[in-house]
Chains A and B, each alone.
Chain A
């Protein structure tokens, strides 16, 4: 089955700097890669997703890149702000609707003042 590895487990960056979180997946049939943000005590919420037919997607300060050959995808947050502090989860899913979403173990991002 699918396995998603996520690094780093914890990341601290100065406010205003960029943050990068990296994930790898094992199943070459996976073609949907969402990213979720979970603030303390709250439920995970989707912040951006990418499908395998594109290599990059951007939404304001957030971007995701996908390298299908390497089975690697990354989340980039630019000009980080205090409200970016949270746990971020990457995930992967195959194209068959009977397949489940598998999450990485999460990255705890701290934005330092």
Chain B
């Protein structure tokens, strides 16, 4: 079966433009995470969706960042008015609803703001 799929793989955008990053989780996975990884750095938590619960948005760095998850499946991370410091790899992960189960990562979207 397919794993977590993210698109696009690479995105170059001009400073000030808006971008949308897409994540298709593994079918049946109700938990979905977004993380940001700057060059050579760790996994910075951004947002977490779990079923019909209100998303945990505590990691979003500013109000320029937002995310939604439609129909409990596909998720879109939107960054408005992009800045150069937004340049990073954005990773999506999904897992089953059961507690303490493995989270599977997508290949990431490398965002470059020029």
Contact = CB atoms under 8 A, between A and B. Distances in A.
A100 interface: yes
Interface in A31-47: 31-32, 34, 42-46
Interface residues of A, number: 25
Contacts, number: 54
Which range contains the number of B residues in contact with the other chain? Answer: 20 to 34
Contacts of B31: 97
Given A97-B50, A98-B50, A100-B33, A46 B103 contact: yes
Interface in A67-104: 89, 93, 95-98, 100-104
A1 B45 CA distance: 12
Given A31-B100, A43-B91, A98-B50, A106 B45 contact: no
Interface in B11-65: 31, 33, 35, 41-43, 45, 48, 50, 53, 56, 58
Interface of A: 1, 6, 31-32, 34, 42-46, 49, 51, 89, 93, 95-98, 100-106
Interface of B: 31, 33, 35, 41-43, 45, 48, 50, 53, 56, 58, 91, 97-100, 102-103, 105-108
